[in-house]
Amino acid sequence: MPNNTVIYIFNRIVRLSILFFILYLIFTNFGTFLMIIGVILILGFFFIYNLKKKMKTSGFNFQFKQGAGFNPNDFQNFNNSGFNNSNFNGFNNAPRFDEVQKAKDFFGFTHSPTKEEIKKKYKELARKYHPDINDNDDSMMKDLNNYRDVLMKTVE
């Protein structure tokens, strides 16, 4: 009998030890996990705060004064050199899809051509549609020039 109680107590101690060890691992790893998550959140908030701080405008304050008229003399010293960029190909300058398709059909392309292909085909069609050859009818040459410009805008 005494032997069974010793084994019973020993088993109980081993089970409790295993339970405490598992709890220790759970809580220490969970604590580490919580600390890592906390550090990540703090760094994230710090990054977002600095990003917002950089994105704020510096000193621009627009105010609309009702009843104030437009006076052209207020803009005599305005420097508009930054607005005169002739290479700007924004949405207003982009050709429409149907124009591009018409240009491809006019040139005879079934794929998206390269600059060299456009130039080669243009020279070929210019010899064909030149007004000197077509009894001074320049409508086809105007179309050719227009469609070349449309295709060149898509290539750039």
Instruction: Sketch the domain layout of the chain as residue ranges.
Output: 1-55, 95-155
pLDDT at 70: 64
The burial class, CB within 10 Å (0-12 / 13-18 / 19+), for 23 is exposed
The CATH code of the domain at 95-155 is: 1.10.287
* pLDDT exceeds cutoff 70 at 35: yes
Instruction: Go through 112-150 and write b for each residue having 16 or more CB atoms within 10 A of its CB, e for each that does not.
Output: ebeeeebeebbeebeeebeeeeeeeeeebbeebeebbeb
When pLDDT is averaged across residues 64-75 and rounded to a whole number, the result is: 64
- When pLDDT is averaged across residues 74-81 and rounded to a whole number, the result is 68
What pLDDT is recorded for position 91?
A: 57
- Tell me the average pLDDT across 86-104: 70
Mean model confidence pLDDT for the chain: 77
List the structure tokens of 37.
Answer: 């998550």
> At 86, is the pLDDT very low, low, confident or very high (cuts 50, 70, 90)?
low
Q: pTM higher than 0.75, yes or no?
A: no
